[in-house]
Structure 1
Amino acid sequence: MTNEKRINCLHCKHYYVTWDRKYPKGCRAFGFKTSTMPSLTVFRSSGSPCMNYTDKRKNG
């Protein structure tokens, strides 16, 4: 992934922490758990940045 616009899943409303020690990071938008950042998994599988990123820090 290039450093142009790296998606930080920690700021996404779809990101969650799972109870699974092997796959501690999850994405509710795509419905999967992973050991890496979900945005990285999406990029590796599709070749595109995550299109479901929604910043949870924005008001409104």
Structure 2
Amino acid sequence: MKDKKPIDCFQCKNFYVTWDANAPRGCKAFGFKTRRLPSEVVFESSGEECLMFKPKHPTPRKNPKKDGWIA
């Protein structure tokens, strides 16, 4: 068995949270919703790690005013 970490869908651009209580997680790349992590479903059905994983880019923080902060 591989010692690799499983793919973390929460770090993927294609992952989203749904309003469906029965299937709260979804994958935009493959177009499905599930109760489990989408990467687990992909691995179970195909036998391969998810090939559609795209890491999220960190969102740039907005700099507060350079004059200082206002209380």
- The TM-score normalised by the length of structure 2 is 0.75
**Amino acid of the structure 2 residue aligned with 1:10:** F
User: Which consecutive aligned stretches of 4+ in structure 1 deviate over 4 angstroms post-superposition?
Assistant: none
Correspondences of 1:1-60 after superposition (within 5 Å): 2-57=2-57
Q: How many residues are aligned here?
A: 59
Structure 1, gaps ≥5 residues long? none
SS at structure 2 position matched to 1:16: strand
Structure 2, gaps ≥5 residues long? 60-71
- Whether the aligned pair in 2 keeps the contact of 1:9 and 1:15 (CA below 8 Å) is yes
Max Rg structure: 2
State how far apart, in whole Å, the 1-side matches of 2:38 and 2:45 are.
Answer: 11
Q: Percent identity?
A: 49
- The TM-score normalised by the length of structure 1 is 0.89
Using the TM superposition, give the Cα deviation of residue 4 of structure 1 relative to its aligned residue in structure 2, in angstroms.
Answer: 1.1
Using the TM superposition, give the Cα deviation of residue 58 of structure 1 relative to its aligned residue in structure 2, in angstroms.
Answer: 5.8
Higher RCO (C-alpha under 8 Å, 6+ residues apart)? 1
State how far apart, in whole Å, the 2-side matches of 1:18 and 1:51 are.
Answer: 22
